[in-house]
A and B are shown apart, each in its own frame.
Chain A
Amino acid sequence: MNFTRFFFISAFFAILALPAAAAGNCGRVTIADMNWNSASLIANIDSFILAKGYGCDAELVPGDTMPTGTSMVEKGEPDIAPELWNNALKDAIDKGVAEKRLRVAGKSLSDGGEEGFWVPQYLVDKNPSLATIAGIKANAKMFEHPEDPDKSGFYTCPAGWNCQISAGNLFKALNLADDGFELVDPGSGAGLSGTIAKAFAREEPWFGYYWAPTAVLGKYKMVKVDFGTGADENEFMTCTSSAECENPKVTMYPPTLVQTVTTEGFATRAPEAYDYLVKRSFKNAQLNELLAWMEDNQADGNIAMEHFLKNYESTWTPWVSAEVAGKVKKALAGM
């Protein structure tokens, strides 16, 4: 659905933009506005700063990891993906960078993304052993499978996402099947977060894969289950995250690279604007705070952008020159 919508809209904007004269030396810039809150917030911030501070003709286009990443490699459109999760699109990004079609500007999240197997906080409060994998296995019976009363359910990553491979490999490595667990494919990100919302509404047990910083983990307090092994980055890269991994070993998830990726064309066309993207980076704690604010106010990316630029000046001013900061502040005052 997103796929076709994305192409229609980007095609539409491409036609619209043909006669538009280039503003400043930056010209027309398309920024992928991904359909989750943190990425949408960053996209809106980029759009505002590039438009007001660098004189770009910035345009937000709807996007999603797969279609946006692919379109950037194949078509050079859109110009900027403000929050691409490397775990979801590693091969395509690596290939694009190697072929000089893409450029990785920097880390959108300086701490990296956090993945893992989680259980709700209220379970751990009642039984602290559930914060470890041994405790989960010992209490397997409480995690009911949605369709099979004889089994326990582990909510895995939706079909087709890269994390489905790593979660499946870890499921195998942890021998969860021996304790009666079965992988439950939620079908989509919305399906997965729906199961979490359901569990929290009734304080039911829940055990599954998720990632942070996300609005879901900002809203629902969860505890990352400790495998007792630490993160073995080498093992994770070579085996756990690969579909061909025959003998997966237990390892925690290492932090995921979450990057700002631009097309090569944009990076060479607008080096100053590109320089801003290199510096623009969030701490997870700060982003979680912003996501919680968005959740509380049911704010979209545009409103949250205004909130951020007005209230977190010390965060964003170091990303730009004093002159650009002045222009952005002036534009903000006029809002």
Chain B
Amino acid sequence: MAAESWLTKFPEMERADLVAIRKGLDAAYRDFSRAWGETIEALFDPLLYFLVWFEKLLLASPWWLVLAVVIALVYSASRSWKLSLGVAVAFVLIGYFGMWDNTMRTMSIITVCTLLAIVLGIPIGILMARSDKMRAIVTPILDIMQTMPAFVYLIPVVMLLGIGKVPGVIAVVIYAIPPVIRLTNLGIRLVDKEVLEAAVAYGATPWQRLWGVQMPLAMPTIMAGINQTIMMALSMVVIASMIGVKGLGQPVLKSITNQYFTMGLFNGLAIVALAITFDRVSQAYARRTQRHMEGREDA
């Protein structure tokens, strides 16, 4: 056999150089977390206090009160007795099988994550829709966020902020925010050019065009994005619990390591029940507001 050449073996970087690069970057990150960790942690403190407060609120309130509030929210959003009844049955079953506290913890963190994703995602989506350059920058970042294995960024975040709720929220938001950004962008871009021209002809300002024409017409697409965001946030619950976020993810992890299949299934189903509740309610709400607007146009 001929001696090794670049033809038979890929011309790799010298191992020593590669190690130097890896160690150099690791050390740089360590220095960064040493220098800035506490400042950044302090920055996130309000979020942490809010998360802790919200979780304590849900845990400390009597179960029937929480249930009543949830049902009231479901009904006011969907105006459907069938859906409200379904949610009530699901929550009663969750409580009956001893998963109430964990479900409350998961619900509190997912609610915050979803709200955060929407509050951050929709403006980014709007910016993306208004500028092609912005879209060219944001799209690859979204691709990275959706495909980068969570642990690659989770452990550096843990080094910076410790374990618990805040790193959990960051991980969930990073993973779950892309659909709402993408679909906000898409929805606005799909709005009929002629409708926009008509709005301009009536003398609408850019602000009026955005909020009076583009956003309402893009709403069904944006709602689809929000739905996807909720679903993805819930599917991240288990990963988040790997960095110490309490909730339904923890018993799932426990059952995986010990092969308690039924326990895993129950807790998994509780996550599914939460997901379906969030999904159906937001969809019903979107449909209802949409119908309402159609009605106004007809009138």
Contact = CB atoms under 8 A, between A and B. Distances in A.
Interface of A: 3, 66, 70, 146-148, 158-161, 184-188, 190-191, 194-195, 197-198, 201-202, 297-298, 303
A190 B242 contact: yes
A188 B30 contact: no
Contacts of A146: 162-164, 244
22 contacts: A66-B258, A146-B164, A147-B165, A158-B253, A159-B241, A159-B257, A160-B256, A161-B257, A185-B244, A185-B250, A187-B163, A187-B249, A188-B242, A191-B242, A191-B243, A194-B155, A194-B163, A194-B243, A195-B158, A197-B158, A198-B158, A201-B33
Contact of B259 (A66, A161, A185, A303): A66
Nearest to A190: B155
A187 B37 contact: no
B250 A147 contact: no
Contact of B33 (A70, A190, A198, A297): A198
A187 B19 contact: no
B293 interface: no
Given A148-B52, A187-B241, A191-B242, 8 more contacts: A66-B259, A186-B163, A187-B243, A187-B249, A190-B158, A191-B163, A202-B37, A298-B19
A187 B250 contact: yes
A297 B23 CA distance: 8
Contacts of B241: 159, 187
A3 B257 CA distance: 9
A188 B37 contact: no
Given A147-B48, A298-B22, A187 B253 contact: yes
Contacts of B118: none
B168 to A, nearest CB: 9
A159 B19 contact: no
Chain B, interface residues (CB within 8 Å), range: 35 or more
Given A184-B163, A190-B151, A190-B242, A201 B37 contact: yes
A102 to B, nearest CB: 17
B245 interface: yes
Contacts of A297: 19
Contact of A160 (B34, B52, B162, B258): B258
| Interface-centre pick from B22, B52, B163, B255 (highest chain A CB count, 10 A) | B163
A66 to B, nearest CB: 5
B34 A188 contact: no
A203 B279 CA distance: 45
B243 A201 contact: no
Interface string B236-262: 000001111110011101111111000
A188 B256 CA distance: 12
A23 B161 CA distance: 52
A327 B249 CA distance: 50
A190 B253 CA distance: 14
B192 interface: no
A159 B23 contact: no
A201 B32 CA distance: 10
B158 A3 contact: no
Contacts of A160: 253-258
| Interface-centre pick from A159, A197, A202 (highest chain B CB count, 10 A) | A159
Contacts of B22: 298
**Nearest 5 A-B pairs (CB), nearest first?**
A194-B158, A160-B257, A160-B254, A188-B242, A187-B244
Nearest to A203: B34
A187 B245 contact: yes
